Structure 1
Amino acid sequence: MKKTLIALAILGAAAGVAHAQSNVTIYGIVDTGFIKKSGQDVKMGENVSSRLGFRGVEDLGGGVKATFQLENWFEPATGQAKSLDDPDRTWDGAANVGLKSDTWGAVRLGRVNELTTETIRKFDPFYQYGVANMIYGTQRMLHIDNTIRYDSPNWSGFHFGATYSLGGNTDKDSAEGTPIYTAKEAGNGYDNDGYGIMLGYDNGPLALVGNWSRLADSKDSTVWNLGAAYRFGDAKVELVYQQTKDNGWAVGKERSWKSTDFLDWVGKNSTENWAGVDTLKEKQWLLGLEWKLGPGRLNASAQWMEVEANGGNVSDKDIYKYAVGYTYDLSKRTSLYGNLAYTDYEDEEVARVFGDVEDGTYGVQVGITHKF
């Protein structure tokens, strides 16, 4: 934590100097409120993930610009840094540098947003946030490391993107003894590079997207999804289909890290429920509605997920989720929100895998968001 604060202080102090040479923007989100779910105590938590970020652009001439982004996530309720996958990580959000041009697009190197998550979440009325979010698939990642990402220019609404992520060390001499090497020697086959591709269209009332990705060191597990949205005046209707093929990467007993994000769905008893599962397939549909109503927005969604496994206590289970919420805009930067969701699990075993304790789970969330 001290390391994070020092890094932020240094970068913040340097921002004024850097501004003379390039355009540096400091931005962020602070969000907190109260959450109550079935079988759990009331807790203070977020809807939109809180963060502090720095984004810079330098004009190099000839239509080319240099870019960088550094982003740190934190918990407003406690003031602590929030690392989703590594407690020693200083910049848990984006951390990258690159080049961009209006002619050929943008290239970034480092830690970037995962294309599949970044694009498909825009078709969820709740943006995959809070108790009302789209049910997380086991291949969901917000950010990915050791990645080169390309984003094309926008051609009358058409655009595409691609990522390539380096996997664990494949050289036997230097990799021996590392977690990736040990897993590979044990026959788990975790060592693989990652790939992702996105095709999208967004022009006028219609928006479409398609994604396919394989996370690095995921035992060759994949996810693909399709999203469509159409706006009718003040209302927008959205449809999402997503399919995940997990070759054992998400099995709770094989995770060596404690991701607070994934612990939302990996419950305390998930290891028992995952036992004997070698492969897992998730098929998911979401129908959503966003409607500008008064000084804010009404959100609603209905979801269905089928969880198929070749063993364990989570084989061939259905999950249904229904959510409604309203965001009241006090200004362009500040809003109040209230969300209500109900998840109908087929049984308690699959509920525990996704972080709940009852087969019928409700969630209520109220809070405030400020963006700067």
Structure 2
Amino acid sequence: MHEKALKKAAHYAREKTFFIHDGFRGSEDLGGGLKATFELEKRFDLFDGTNGNSNTAAYRAQRGQNANSKDWDGAANLGLAGNWGRVRFGRVNELTTETIRKFDPFYQYGVGSMLLSANRSARIDNTARYDSPKWSGFSFGASYSLGQNTRNNGATTGWVTESAHNDGYGINLSYDNGPFMATANWSRLADSDDADTWNVGLAYKFGPARVSLLYENTSYEGWDNGGNSRPAQNANPFSAQGGDSDLWLLGLEWDIGPGQLDASVQYMDFDPSARGVKDADVYKYAIGYTYNLSKRTSAYAQVSYSDFDERSAGNFISGLDRSDMWGFQIGMTHKF
């Protein structure tokens, strides 16, 4: 896992629920520079030990323990790796999410996180993913996901209608060498009615500070988050009709004392076509500080303010019928 993810992802807070990330990762040397690899990652609720499932549409919509859950909510895959790169098969991290989150100072965790597209998923199922080695700082990635109705035989699968079926694709090009870092992505989740997302991110580090800028465009075609989980009925206006959103984020990370200050300013142009949901300009401001108690243990605090312009937009993004919202979060992380 990325070093910053280990630092900030030891638990995820939402609705007073805390999730611990746990898992196994390993490899077997097959000789000739070839290795077999595996990943198994799980999440559980720190309060009562039940399965944690913080990254599905059902959980975001229902916000409760009754949300659909997977025993292995994290990555669960087998693969091969060599000097030509790495390929994995199974449940993998989605390229668009994994790469663009590095340009969010809060790494898409906590109340300070960037506004997340409903047409992206932290992890995706039934997927083959390839990651290239680095060439002078450049790297390439691609993924292919099977749709649930691969034969297009007219049947429905769960909540997904025949018209929503499609295979999924993802492609990434990144550069990370010295103080400059950049990425560009395009993705289409499986069973999303051909809805797609593309984004770009830029970052530059000078001295103790790093400034980042990202842009993301999402085109919803009627079904969000692919077929990975079923949203609660009428929980999301984009799940019944289409729409578009454009997101800009300006971020700052600054090493101060024994920790790091994180801050971001976001703007989203929210244009749904769902009946009763109005266009809105959404603004979000966030600041936080992580204090390193040791090399493996840190404490953090975050505060954010979101102005949704329209109550219907606030209901879509936060699940609360409000035109604005404050968020506060404190916590501790430990790397095992």
TM-score band by shorter chain is 0.7 to 0.9
* Alpha-carbon distance change, 344 to 105 in structure 1, aligned in 2, over 3 angstroms: same
Q: In structure 2, how many angstroms separate the alpha carbons of the residues matched to 1:192 and 1:274? A: 18
Q: In structure 1, how many angstroms separate the alpha carbons of the residues matched to 2:12 and 2:244? A: 34
- Residue identity in the other structure for 1:222: D
Please show how residues 1-372 of structure 1 align to structure 2 within 5 Å. 30-31=10-11, 44-46=16-18, 50-83=20-53, 84-85=55-56, 87=68, 89-102=70-83, 104-171=84-151, 176=155, 178-179=157-158, 183-184=161-162, 189-250=163-224, 257-258=230-231, 270=235, 278-354=241-317, 355-372=319-336
Q: 128-137 or 79-88, which moves further after superposition? A: 79-88
- Residue identity in the other structure for 2:161: A
* Alpha-carbon distance change, 225 to 88 in structure 1, aligned in 2, over 3 angstroms: closer
Asked if the contact 1:351–1:357 (Cα under 8 Å) also holds between the matched residues in 2, the reply is yes
Once the 2 structures are TM-superposed, how far is the Cα of residue 278 of structure 1 from its aligned partner? 2.5
Asked if the contact 1:335–1:368 (Cα under 8 Å) also holds between the matched residues in 2, the reply is yes
Q: Any idea what SS the aligned residue of 1:129 has?
A: coil
- Residue identity in the other structure for 1:359: S
Asked if the contact 2:284–2:304 (Cα under 8 Å) also holds between the matched residues in 1, the reply is yes
Q: In structure 2, how many angstroms separate the alpha carbons of the residues matched to 1:328 and 1:226? A: 30
Instruction: After the TM superposition, list the runs of 4 or more consecutive aligned residues in structure 1 that deviate by more than 6 angstroms.
Output: none
Q: In structure 2, how many angstroms separate the alpha carbons of the residues matched to 1:313 and 1:333? A: 48
Q: In structure 1, how many angstroms separate the alpha carbons of the residues matched to 2:330 and 2:69? A: 31
- Residue identity in the other structure for 1:114: E
Once the 2 structures are TM-superposed, how far is the Cα of residue 332 of structure 1 from its aligned partner? 1.6
- Superposed CA RMSD in Å reads 2.5
Identify unmatched segments of 5+ residues in structure 2: 1-5, 57-66
- Residue identity in the other structure for 1:197: I
Q: In structure 2, how many angstroms separate the alpha carbons of the residues matched to 1:303 and 1:221? A: 23
* Alpha-carbon distance change, 63 to 295 in structure 1, aligned in 2, over 3 angstroms: same
Once the 2 structures are TM-superposed, how far is the Cα of residue 356 of structure 1 from its aligned partner? 2.9
Identify unmatched segments of 5+ residues in structure 1: 1-26, 36-42, 259-265
Q: Any idea what SS the aligned residue of 1:80 has?
A: coil
Structure with higher helix content: 1
Q: 336-345 or 309-318, which moves further after superposition? A: 309-318
Q: Any idea what SS the aligned residue of 2:102 has?
A: helix
Q: 336-345 or 307-316, which moves further after superposition? A: 307-316
TM-score where L is the length of structure 2: 0.88
Asked if the contact 2:270–2:279 (Cα under 8 Å) also holds between the matched residues in 1, the reply is yes
Once the 2 structures are TM-superposed, how far is the Cα of residue 256 of structure 1 from its aligned partner? 6.5
Once the 2 structures are TM-superposed, how far is the Cα of residue 317 of structure 1 from its aligned partner? 1.0
- Length, aligned pairs only: 317
Q: Which has the higher contact order (CA 8 A, sep 6+)?
A: 1
Once the 2 structures are TM-superposed, how far is the Cα of residue 274 of structure 1 from its aligned partner? 5.4
Asked if the contact 1:121–1:128 (Cα under 8 Å) also holds between the matched residues in 2, the reply is yes
Once the 2 structures are TM-superposed, how far is the Cα of residue 76 of structure 1 from its aligned partner? 1.1
Asked if the contact 2:10–2:20 (Cα under 8 Å) also holds between the matched residues in 1, the reply is yes
Bigger Cα Rg: 1
Asked if the contact 2:238–2:272 (Cα under 8 Å) also holds between the matched residues in 1, the reply is no
Asked if the contact 1:307–1:314 (Cα under 8 Å) also holds between the matched residues in 2, the reply is no
Q: In structure 2, how many angstroms separate the alpha carbons of the residues matched to 1:297 and 1:159? A: 28
Q: In structure 1, how many angstroms separate the alpha carbons of the residues matched to 2:71 and 2:192? A: 24
**Identity of paired residues, percent?**
50
TM-score where L is the length of structure 1: 0.79
Once the 2 structures are TM-superposed, how far is the Cα of residue 52 of structure 1 from its aligned partner? 0.9
Q: In structure 2, how many angstroms separate the alpha carbons of the residues matched to 1:56 and 1:341? A: 38
Q: 311-320 or 57-66, which moves further after superposition? A: 311-320
Partner of 2:61: none
Q: In structure 1, how many angstroms separate the alpha carbons of the residues matched to 2:125 and 2:224? A: 18
Once the 2 structures are TM-superposed, how far is the Cα of residue 32 of structure 1 from its aligned partner? 6.7
* Alpha-carbon distance change, 366 to 69 in structure 1, aligned in 2, over 3 angstroms: same
Asked if the contact 1:31–1:370 (Cα under 8 Å) also holds between the matched residues in 2, the reply is no
Q: In structure 2, how many angstroms separate the alpha carbons of the residues matched to 1:213 and 1:166? A: 14
Q: In structure 1, how many angstroms separate the alpha carbons of the residues matched to 2:32 and 2:278? A: 57
Asked if the contact 1:32–1:369 (Cα under 8 Å) also holds between the matched residues in 2, the reply is no
